[in-house]
Structure 1
Amino acid sequence: MIKLISKILSVPANDFKILIISFAFLFSIFCSYSILKPLRDALATVGALHDIKWLFMATFIFSLVAVFAGMYLSARVKRGHYIVIIFLFFTLNIFLFYIFFINYGETLWGARVFFVWASVFNLFVISTGFLLLADRFDKETSKRLFGIVFAGASLGSIIGALFTSLLSKVLGLENLLLVSALLLLMSAFLSTLILKGAKSKDLVINPKNPFNGISLILKSKYLLLIAAFILLTTAANTFLYLEQARVVKLAFASREERVSVFANIDFIVQTLSLLIQIFFTGKVAKRLGISFLLVIVPLILAFGFIVIAFTHPIFYIFVVFMVIRRVGEYAFIKPGREMAFVVLSEEEKYRTKSFFDTALYRFGDMGSSWLESLLSHIGVKVALFGGAFLCFVWAYNAFMLSRFYKRK
């Protein structure tokens, strides 16, 4: 049976075990987060829309705290323990939010705190998971297997979004938090299986200087290109996210309706992503290279922003490009970006990736949210054309990053 499945997926039998465990690992992480995400996005609409840029600023500040805490921890515990500690910490956080919402319900400040926390959770936990995989796979196996491994993320997101959409009114949004916590606990267990037998699980990176990640970035053109890629990615995503908040708040009145809409969009996105990741991402990576994975989405989004500018605020046209953006991110951008990390040294991975995926990512959110707010005060179309310009710059940066990758 294993040989048959391996043949269908074009995966060597000796890679099958680590493939399945890694697939299940990403599945549990993303299923956990996809239960939290619709609730976070719905709570983002509590209060005025101009509050969102302040939430992004708070998220950036707490992301800095989280990333430096993570750097400090990674310099003092074994690598295998580091992953488990991070996951257990955020599991405890989910239980605390469950207790809060059960006792106090939806309050303005409760919604704001949850939004900030969920945004930090999103990047920090997922970044930690991808860091583990980047450490476990080499350059060649990542090209062959990352497409299928990342399909675990899409399938987890599909199940989580579908579960939330169908059962949010039956179970209550608060009780869904318990399901999310249990899935994250499963991720912690699977991380130990991925590292089982790996020499790196007992290593501690540079314990004398846990904060040297920034200096490593500044000394490397390749790492600076990755940093610029992340900033431009977040800028495009934030411009679309703020437009999403405007359109959804106009189209749907209640929190339950918004949660259901966000969950349904997630379901469509992840279903399409899953199919592309299983059957196309690996083949595209091998035949067309990382350049195609990184460049195609920015180019499509650049034209998408222009179309949205002329059709604003039609909800369904916006949804089409939002789906294209997110499918492209899961099926092409994320696998391509994680491949870019595979070729780094162990020290570069563990000293920079958490900074990239949390503090830098949220700095991009914060900066682009203020830029979008400034442009939207002039006019929504001005902001959307600004998003198009950023996407063209993003495409050029992606092309340069792929060239450096090929030299590694």
Structure 2
Amino acid sequence: MNRIETAASDPRRSGWSVLGLRRDEIGPVLVATLFFFCVLTALMLLRPARDALGMEHSLDSLRGLIVVTALGTLAVNPLFGWLVGRLTRQQLVSATYGFFVLSLVGFWSLMRFAPGAVGRAGSQAFFVWFNVFNLFVTLVFWALLTERFTREQGLRLFSLVSIGGTSGAIFGPWLTLRLAGPLGTANLLLVAGGFLLLGLLAAWLLLQITPDRAAGAGVATALNEGAAGRIGGSAWAGIGSVFRSPYLGAIACYVMLMAAMATFVYFARLQMVAAIAHDVDARAAMLGHIDLWTHIAVLVLQLSLRGRLVERFGLGVALAILPVATAIGFVGLAIHGSVAVLVLLEAITRAVQRGITQPAREALFTGVAREDQYKAKAFIDTFLYRSGDVVGAQAERALGGPGPAMGGLFGIALPLALAWVALALWLGRARTPAIDALAASGSPNLRCGKPTPGVS
């Protein structure tokens, strides 16, 4: 029995118990945290530029771009599934991050040397590209972690790793505020590319220091055998798994509801910023300020809770907090539909989503087969997520935007939030074949804090 297994049930054996860390987990968690920091820094450097460029067009045009993005993710999924089946883990991570770095260099070249050629089509292409890019770079990060860490470790450590991502999400907008003026928006693309390359180096290091780690202590050795090698299988396997598995299907529905609710808030925010700022640089700076303070709230939440909700109440309750918070926010909007309430709603829901929901949702994938950790997860986190965006955008359009339509939106949002809560509680108690196998074996890697059906 290895060191992970022998210490799994008593992290206090290590001097790092204050953080819930065992001594042999320090290196991998620090590297994973650095990896996520670099990825989120790159994303949040680019997000204000994405939104500012998108606001150069009408909201109807943006809704059309969201549909194009969803179709783009559907088209990319079979290619990603094919790569997952044929490349080693290191090759897959390198190909994904390398492609996006080269794309950033290409956009930078156009904006720097041929600004007249960018125009409307170029800004639309960047908007769609970013919305595909941000999903796949975070997808690969979390897929790698769900494979390399066990279910018990995921429940205990993913919230800690997420603090690195939140720190990057704060550092990125801060850099945007400091560099957008002196360097210009175009050069921020190169800065973001540099952080992606640093993230790639961290990914390589994580692969080196955690060889077959999940196989020794995770969701059954058989599911992770040869984790560094090729997974194989069909390019379409992930799509089929989502429609065959009630467990994966429930995760997909949860993600779509989350995206639909967030999209309405996103469009309302764009309308608010458009009414105040009137050029790309001013809008990028204002959006950067909003992102900065929102993620400071996220960091405070993560540092104060840091996985304690999952340990005490289980995955179901942790997953249900976001729909409950969203429903309360929409009640506030229905009563008093002001800009201040809208910004508060976005800040709270994003803080809960990043600080509590995301680590809990990613832990769900530690209980599925290795092929589904990449292929099914890709389909859920890209196409189905963007499909939720489409639903939210069209609902916002049908209701006529914020203001008088808030009451009508509340009439839709509240029943959806109740269904969302029910899904969360069901997912917290659901079992996969891999989890059942661990339960039958009595493995300590199944437990996290107080044993509950949600984490068994």
TM-score (norm 1): 0.94
Segments of 5+ residues of structure 2 without an aligned counterpart are 1-12, 213-225, 432-453
**1:8 shift after superposition:** 4.1
| Aligned pairs, number | 404
Relative to structure 1, is the Cα distance of residues 275 and 347 closer, same or farther in structure 2, using a 3 angstrom cutoff? same
| C-alpha distance in 1 between matches for 2:244 and 2:57 | 43
| C-alpha distance in 2 between matches for 1:252 and 1:21 | 39
Relative to structure 1, is the Cα distance of residues 51 and 388 closer, same or farther in structure 2, using a 3 angstrom cutoff? farther
Helix, strand or coil: the match of 1:253? Answer: coil
| C-alpha distance in 2 between matches for 1:69 and 1:128 | 14
2:190 to 178, 193, 212: 178
Do structure 1's residue 338 and structure 2's residue 362 form an aligned pair?
yes
| Partners of 1:294 and 1:337 within 8 A in 2 | yes
Q: What does 1:360-375 align with in structure 2 at a 5 Å threshold?
A: 360-375=384-399
Deviations 1:55-95 (A, max 9, x none): 11110111112222111111111122111110000010011
Q: Percent identity?
A: 28
Relative to structure 1, is the Cα distance of residues 184 and 377 closer, same or farther in structure 2, using a 3 angstrom cutoff? closer
> In the alignment, which residue of structure 1 is the partner of 2:353?
329
Report the more deviating stretch, 15-24 or 45-54.
Answer: 45-54
Identify, as 1 or 2, the structure richer in helix. 1
Q: Which amino acid aligns with 1:318?
A: L
1:278 to 288, 303, 326: 303
> In the alignment, which residue of structure 1 is the partner of 2:318?
293
> In the alignment, which residue of structure 1 is the partner of 2:288?
263
| C-alpha distance in 2 between matches for 1:278 and 1:140 | 20
> In the alignment, which residue of structure 1 is the partner of 2:378?
354
Q: What does 1:1-400 align with in structure 2 at a 5 Å threshold?
A: 6-102=16-112, 103-104=114-115, 107-196=119-208, 197-199=210-212, 200-207=226-233, 209-312=234-337, 314-376=338-400, 380-381=405-406, 382-400=408-426
Q: Which amino acid aligns with 1:355?
A: F
**1:326 shift after superposition:** 0.6
**1:244 shift after superposition:** 1.4
| Partners of 2:263 and 2:389 within 8 A in 1 | yes
> In the alignment, which residue of structure 1 is the partner of 2:3?
none
| C-alpha distance in 1 between matches for 2:61 and 2:14 | 53
| C-alpha distance in 2 between matches for 1:119 and 1:150 | 21
Deviations 1:239-295 (A, max 9, x none): 111111222222322222221221112111222222332341322211121122111
| C-alpha distance in 2 between matches for 1:324 and 1:389 | 20
| C-alpha distance in 2 between matches for 1:108 and 1:325 | 32
Deviations 1:192-246 (A, max 9, x none): 1111152345322234x22111221222111111011011111111111111122
**1:6 shift after superposition:** 2.6
TM-score (norm 2): 0.84
Q: Which amino acid aligns with 1:267?
A: L
Say which one has the larger Rg. Answer: 2
Relative to structure 1, is the Cα distance of residues 384 and 38 closer, same or farther in structure 2, using a 3 angstrom cutoff? farther
Relative to structure 1, is the Cα distance of residues 109 and 271 closer, same or farther in structure 2, using a 3 angstrom cutoff? same
| C-alpha distance in 1 between matches for 2:412 and 2:269 | 16
**1:404 shift after superposition:** 0.9
**1:185 shift after superposition:** 0.8
| C-alpha distance in 1 between matches for 2:326 and 2:242 | 28
| Partners of 1:44 and 1:115 within 8 A in 2 | yes
| C-alpha distance in 2 between matches for 1:404 and 1:32 | 35
| C-alpha distance in 2 between matches for 1:167 and 1:7 | 39
| Partners of 1:195 and 1:201 within 8 A in 2 | no
| Partners of 2:84 and 2:232 within 8 A in 1 | no
| Partners of 2:320 and 2:425 within 8 A in 1 | yes
Helix, strand or coil: the match of 2:306? Answer: helix
| C-alpha distance in 2 between matches for 1:170 and 1:87 | 27
| C-alpha distance in 2 between matches for 1:233 and 1:353 | 16
Q: Which amino acid aligns with 1:152?
A: G
Helix, strand or coil: the match of 2:96? Answer: helix
| RMSD (Å), alpha carbons | 2.0
